[in-house]
Amino acid sequence: MPFKNHINELKEYILDHYNETKKQIAPEIYRGHLRSLSTDIEDGIALFLSKIFTSHKIYIDPSVTVNKQTHRPDILIVNSEKEVVAMLEIKTQMGYCRDATGVIDKIKAVNEIFKKEKTLNCKFSNNEIMPVTYTNDVKLFLISFSSNNCSKETYHTNNKSYAKNEGVNYYILFDNWYNDLKNFEIEDFVEEISKLK
């Protein structure tokens, strides 16, 4: 596997950030659940993708307004011609047992809106606007971070089937919890997304 070292780097990146979420912020303050890891995971996946796509840009959580409605795709991969080649939705708490049909339907709906618009103005927090072209050839991905969030595999099978029928590539990257991630479908994901080169 050519990206084995990069996969391990992603796991280490997530483990470091996971450990940070467990630290007590002050002696008399107690938190019942972990602080959110979702933006750290988006950042980690963007760093990982940048090793695969060395000549592409990775846009994380840009604001894209179409017909007065703002959409915020988790990740857009943009080639050197400023064309979006992939849109990724990342779910950090989905696991096996969540019914993902609503998420997949939303990805498809946003894809249709973006295809009709063709030129997207991606706005970032520093107010910079980067225009990109969005075509009919954009590859869609739904990424769930770990299968371990729940144990029922039935939804996973149904989700995979539904996603495939809807033209969305769906992968659960890892198994186990954040402190002991095991490769699950990440190698399949790398193989599929590498075809975009």
Q: What is the DSSP code (8-state) at residue 164?
A: H
In the chain the domains, ranked by start, together with CATH numbers, are 4-196 (3.40.1350.10)
Q: What is the largest CA-CA distance in the chain?
A: 54
What pLDDT is recorded for position 149?
64
> Where is pLDDT greater, at 26 or 45?
45
User: 109-120 pLDDT, tens per residue?
Assistant: 999 999 999 999
Q: Report which DSSP code applies to 152.
A: -
All residues at 6 or more sequence positions from 40 whose CB lies less than 8 Å from its CB, including other chains? 13, 14, 17
pLDDT by residue (tens digit) across 66-106?
999 999 999 999 999 999 999 999 998 777 778 899 999 99
Contact 170, 160 (CB under 8 A): yes
Q: In the prediction, which pLDDT does 151 show?
A: 66
Higher pLDDT, 14 or 35: 14
Of 42-51, 68-77, 123-132, 142-151, the range with the lowest mean pLDDT is 142-151
Long-range contacts of 37-45 (CB under 8 A, 24+ apart): 37/92, 37/178, 38/90, 38/92, 38/93, 40/13, 40/14, 41/14, 41/17, 41/90, 41/92, 41/145, 42/74, 42/75, 42/90, 44/10, 44/13, 44/14, 44/17, 45/10, 45/75, 45/88, 45/90, 45/143
Better-scored residue on pLDDT, 68 or 37: 68
Q: How far apart are CA 155 and CA 163, in angstroms?
A: 12
